[in-house]
Amino acid sequence: MTTTSEPGHDRPDPSLDAIMSERRQLINLAYRLLGSLADAEDVVQETYARWYAMSRQQQEAIASPGAWLTKVAGRICLDLLGSARARRESYVGEWIPEPLPDRAEWIDGRGGGTTDPADPADRITLDESVTMAFLVVLESMTPAERVAFVLHEVFRYSFAEVADIVGRTPAACRQLASSARRRIRASQALPAPAGLRAGLVRDFKQAWEAKDIDTLVGLLDPRATMIADGGGLVSAVLRPIEGGEQIARYIIAIADMAPGLTILERTVNGQPGLVAQRDGVTVTVAAFDVPGDRITRIWAVRNPEKLWPWTGEPQAASDSGHDARHGEGETTIT
């Protein structure tokens, strides 16, 4: 689909084609760089605003609109990553990246059904570079390391192209990516087979529902860690819980305090996870790291502002300290 933007022009407007072909790529890039889908969408909106701020002549002078859009989006993300560190120092409790559902489970902005799966423009490609474990490691990197690594290792940009975005030499970008790669290797073990991961998460769900503390302890690595993110908007433990037995006791305590919760198996960032719902509304999304035959890490996101893809209400905050209630309707994974 093309159009013309000015009388007397026979050439199609290149901007519309650029948007249609590049939007999904930009969303995928920005989410991996920022760990926030809401921020990623803001970045893409700002990127296209800058494109449209140019004259038609300036647009036509750009040989590759896609490369230009990526460069601008990458630089915006780099700036945001620098400011994000300062913002997160004042964040209440632990900060966890926004969890994403599988496409089939995505709730639309009206809060009552899934969007058209044939339109992937604002969807994230769920692969190993978007797992919660991977995104958490990215959070430990410097902004330049993160941008260089994601652009080169995930999106296969050359170091010359990365250098143009990061504002450093290709050799410096190579070193940044190498340093980031070492962080990844040092912090991540090979994941267990998909079937084993799904089975362990299912067993965890069943033991949680049964309040079976012995089974929970057996499913958790003795050195396991659980981190919760309430953002100061809902109740959540403010510090990581260390140790399998301590985590199991905390999980049982939650079950005792919230008897009305429904626990469902869901895909979270491409991996088996769990979702807790109250009155049909998602209030917690849990991601798991299973590198062997036990669960080593759990990330529980409760901040309602990070759950809008699961609830159908963009950036739905709770101003009363209670869980957000903005929609329902999810599809169980089979």
pLDDT tens column, 231-287: 999 989 999 999 999 999 999 998 888 888 999 999 999 999 999 999 999 999 999
Whether 118 has a pLDDT exceeding 60, the answer reads: no
As a whole number, mean pLDDT of residues 154-174 equals 96
Whether 52 has a pLDDT exceeding 80, the answer reads: yes
SS3 state at 296: strand
Quickly tell me which residue has 């989410």 as its tokens: 31
Whether 19 has a pLDDT exceeding 70, the answer reads: no
Note the pLDDT of residue 123: 62
With cut-offs at 50, 70 and 90, classify the pLDDT of residue 187: confident
* Distance between CA atoms of residues 95 and 81, nearest Å: 14
Whether 2 has a pLDDT exceeding 60, the answer reads: no
Question: Do residues 97 and 137 touch, judged by C-beta distance below 8 A?
Answer: no
Note the pLDDT of residue 95: 95
DSSP 8-state class, residue 270: T
* 234 vs 123, higher pLDDT: 234
- CATH code 1.10.1740 region(s) in the chain: 1-90
Note the pLDDT of residue 257: 86
Percent of the chain residues topping a pLDDT of 70: 82
CATH 1.20.1510 fits 127-188, yes or no: no
DSSP 8-state class, residue 29: H
Q: CATH says 1-90 is which class?
A: mainly alpha
With cut-offs at 50, 70 and 90, classify the pLDDT of residue 180: very high
Strand order in the sheet with 281-289: 241-242, 220-229, 295-301, 281-289, 271-278, 262-268
- CATH code 3.10.450.50 region(s) in the chain: 194-311
Question: Do residues 173 and 153 touch, judged by C-beta distance below 8 A?
Answer: no
With cut-offs at 50, 70 and 90, classify the pLDDT of residue 134: very high
With cut-offs at 50, 70 and 90, classify the pLDDT of residue 194: confident
* Distance between CA atoms of residues 15 and 291, nearest Å: 44
* Distance between CA atoms of residues 277 and 232, nearest Å: 19
Note the pLDDT of residue 269: 95
- Cα angle 235-30-41, degrees, rounded to a multiple of 5: 70
SS3 state at 228: strand
Whether 69 has a pLDDT exceeding 90, the answer reads: yes
- Cα angle 331-333-334, degrees, rounded to a multiple of 5: 125
As a whole number, mean pLDDT of residues 143-156 equals 95
Q: Which residues contact 91 (CB under 8 A, 6 or more apart)?
A: 231, 232
Quickly tell me which residue has 């759950």 as its tokens: 307
Note the pLDDT of residue 157: 95
Note the pLDDT of residue 26: 94
SS3 state at 1: coil
With cut-offs at 50, 70 and 90, classify the pLDDT of residue 128: confident
Quickly tell me which residue has 């893809």 as its tokens: 309
Question: Do residues 250 and 257 touch, judged by C-beta distance below 8 A?
Answer: no
As a whole number, mean pLDDT of residues 198-220 equals 96
This prediction has a pTM of 0.83
Note the pLDDT of residue 18: 54
Q: What is the pLDDT of residues 284-333, one digit of tens each?
A: 999 999 998 999 999 999 999 999 989 876 543 333 333 332 233 332 22
Note the pLDDT of residue 102: 87
Work out the number of other CB atoms within 10 angstroms of the CB of residue 69: 25
Note the pLDDT of residue 16: 67
Farthest-apart Cα atoms in the chain, separation: 76
CATH topology of domain 194-311: Nuclear Transport Factor 2; Chain: A, (3.10.450)
Note the pLDDT of residue 284: 96
Whether 7 has a pLDDT exceeding 60, the answer reads: no
Mean pLDDT of the chain: 83
- Cα angle 138-141-143, degrees, rounded to a multiple of 5: 100
SS3 state at 122: coil
